[in-house]
Amino acid sequence: MHSDYAANGSSPQGSWEASRLNPPTPLWGSNGVAFGPDGRLYVAQFLSGRISALDTGSGDVEVVVGPGDPVQSPDDLAFGADGSMYIADLVPGRVWRRSPQGAYTLVSDRVKVPNGITCLGDRLFVNEMKMDGRLLELFTDGREPVVVTEGLAMGNAMQVGPDGCLYYPHMMTGEVWRVPTDGGPSEVVARGVHEPVAVRFDRGGVLLVLSRGESGLVTRIDLHGTGSRSLIGSGLVGLDNAAFDAENRMFVSSFASGGITEMHPDGRTREVLPRGLSGPYGVTVDLRGTVYAADHYRLAEPAGRAAPGTTDVVTRRLKPFAHGIVADGELLHLTSQYGSVETYDPGDGTTRVRASGLRQPTGVAVAPDGALAVAESGAGRVISLGEDDAVSTLAEDLPHPVDVAFDAEGRCYVSDDVLGAVLRLDAEGAYPLAEGLEGPQGLAVLGERVFTVEAQARRLLGISLKTGERRVEREELALGTAPAEQPALFAHGMPGIPRLFAGLTAAPDGSLLLSANGEGTVVRLSPTCAGASEG
Q: Is residue 84 part of a domain?
A: yes
Q: Is residue 171 part of a domain?
A: yes
Q: Does position 86 have pLDDT exceeding 90, yes or no?
A: yes
Q: Does position 12 have pLDDT exceeding 90, yes or no?
A: no
User: Distance between CA atoms of 336 and 353, rounded to whole angstroms?
Assistant: 11
Q: What is the DSSP letter of 500?
A: P
β strands within 247-390, DSSP E: 250-254, 260-263, 269-273, 283-285, 291-294, 296-305, 313-328, 331-336, 340-345, 350-355, 361-366, 372-376, 381-385
The per-residue b/e assignment along 52-78, b for 16 or more CB within 10 angstroms, e otherwise, is: bbbebeeeebeebbeeebebbbbbbbb
Residue 6's pLDDT is what? Answer: 40
Q: Of 256, 273, 290, at which residue does a domain stop?
A: 273
Strands 175-180 and 412-416 come out as: unpaired
Residue with the bigger pLDDT between 305 and 199: it is 199
Residue 493's pLDDT is what? Answer: 58
Span 366-403, pLDDT tens digits: 999 999 999 999 999 999 999 999 999 999 999 999 99
Residue 222's pLDDT is what? Answer: 86
Question: For residue 40, what are the domain limits?
Answer: 33-273
Read off the pLDDT of each residue in 220-248 and give the average, rounded to a whole number. Answer: 90
Number of folded domains that form the chain: 2
Residue with the bigger pLDDT between 409 and 6: it is 409
* 248 class by beta-carbon count within 10 Å (0-12 exposed, 13-18 middle, 19+ buried): exposed
Residue 224's pLDDT is what? Answer: 80
Same domain flag for 267 and 306? no
Same domain flag for 44 and 123? yes
Same domain flag for 266 and 284? no
Same domain flag for 232 and 294? no
Same domain flag for 221 and 325? no
β strands within 212-294, DSSP E: 217-221, 229-233, 239-244, 250-254, 260-263, 269-273, 283-285, 291-294
Same domain flag for 174 and 130? yes
Residue 226's pLDDT is what? Answer: 73
Q: Is residue 1 part of a domain?
A: no
Residue 312's pLDDT is what? Answer: 87
Read off the pLDDT of each residue in 130-141 and give the average, rounded to a whole number. Answer: 96
Same domain flag for 142 and 264? yes
Span 471-525, pLDDT tens digits: 999 999 999 854 434 444 555 555 666 778 999 999 999 999 999 999 999 999 9
Residue 9's pLDDT is what? Answer: 39
Q: Is residue 212 part of a domain?
A: yes
Inter-residue contact 353 to 313 (CB < 8 Å) = no
Q: Does position 532 have pLDDT exceeding 80, yes or no?
A: no
Q: Is residue 532 part of a domain?
A: no
Q: In 3-state terms, what secondary structure has residue 156?
A: coil
For the full predicted model, state whether its pTM sits above 0.95.
Answer: no
Read off the pLDDT of each residue in 358-371 and give the average, rounded to a whole number. Answer: 96
DSSP labels, 409-467: T--EEEEETTTTEEEEEETTEEEEEE-S-SSEEEEEEETTEEEEEETTTTEEEEEETTT
Same domain flag for 452 and 493? yes
Residue 232's pLDDT is what? Answer: 92
Q: Is residue 154 part of a domain?
A: yes
Same domain flag for 257 and 318? no
Taking the alpha carbons at both ends of the chain, their separation in whole angstroms is 36
Inter-residue contact 377 to 402 (CB < 8 Å) = yes
Q: Is residue 7 part of a domain?
A: no
Q: What average pLDDT does the chain have?
A: 91
Inter-residue contact 114 to 85 (CB < 8 Å) = no
Q: Of 251, 273, 295, at which residue does a domain stop?
A: 273
User: Distance between CA atoms of 70 and 94, rounded to whole angstroms?
Assistant: 10
Q: Is the dihedral of CA 488, 492, 498, 499 positive or negative?
A: positive
Same domain flag for 325 and 422? yes
Q: Does position 353 have pLDDT exceeding 60, yes or no?
A: yes
Q: What is the DSSP letter of 194?
A: S
Same domain flag for 185 and 306? no
Q: What is the CATH number of the domain that holds 48?
A: 2.120.10.30
Q: Does position 2 have pLDDT exceeding 50, yes or no?
A: no
Q: Of 255, 273, 291, at which residue does a domain stop?
A: 273
Span 285-308, pLDDT tens digits: 999 999 999 999 999 999 998 888
What is the share, in percent, of the chain residues with pLDDT greater than 70? Answer: 93
Same domain flag for 349 and 225? no
Q: Is residue 535 part of a domain?
A: no
CA 479 to chain centroid: 16
Q: Does position 124 have pLDDT exceeding 80, yes or no?
A: yes
Q: How far is the CA of 508 from the CAs of 13, 74, 291, 323, in angstroms? A: 24, 41, 11, 22
Residue 425's pLDDT is what? Answer: 96
User: Distance between CA atoms of 416 and 439, rounded to whole angstroms?
Assistant: 7
Q: Does position 149 have pLDDT exceeding 80, yes or no?
A: yes
Residue 530's pLDDT is what? Answer: 56
Q: Does position 3 have pLDDT exceeding 50, yes or no?
A: no
Residue 496's pLDDT is what? Answer: 61
User: Distance between CA atoms of 67 and 203, rounded to whole angstroms?
Assistant: 35
